[in-house]
Structure 1
């Protein structure tokens, strides 16, 4: 469906029918690109999805900071408890407070899922547009594919350990001993 011309054809060497066919092909390509630009729904992305992602990540930061402070305060309170007859009951009360503070993980997981979904929509729309206009970076690579490869490499290097050979925890502990 796309226009395959990379330069303006020499109109002197084209017959009127070929010129018309070339112009129709260019018009079809422009129409297709306009459709892909409309499908990006840039206003929706900037109005709804990006601000929502920003707000959700801010809420994640606030929730994790609050939970961390609660856990630290409980741990400090446990360290300051007098060793008396009520010691066990006081420690248990602080441990329950810590358990409650750890519930932030579920809430932050839900919020992060929303952000991931918003970013996935953005990535899909941009990849569709880049494909439609045959966008390439300076090295001639599809930018969406290059970004996915770079992200995958970064996650492997800095993210959770993939299945396969890993350093045993005992070896790591021995290294720091």
Structure 2
């Protein structure tokens, strides 16, 4: 090998090493094996909570619509109220469609998380030397109110209601 070839090979290898370190850093910002939070898993849990809350609200709306329809049936000439209650039943179909679409997003997040896990495994112990990121998308709104919580301590709805009561 000539001296020129050796220099070019060394430069190319240095560039490849730099790119691998960048890839490791980017993957670590998404999911580091030493991190306390798995952001993709947290996103999946948040989406699942949306589906559950939407389903609960929809069931409540449907229950009220059923009561309205029952009461309207007891009042002569209240056919329009019964028709509106039936329309409300139909409109609540959004929840099923929303749940299906969110389930597709959760499946995609799980797929991405598995691929990231495979990449982390390929790097092996070397990946443990990549620093655990301190801040990122999960911390971007930390200065805001915490909003709905996923099994974490937070302000309850009754506490909020008491502030305005």
TM-score by length of 2: 0.44
TM-score by length of 1: 0.42
Pair member with larger Rg: 1
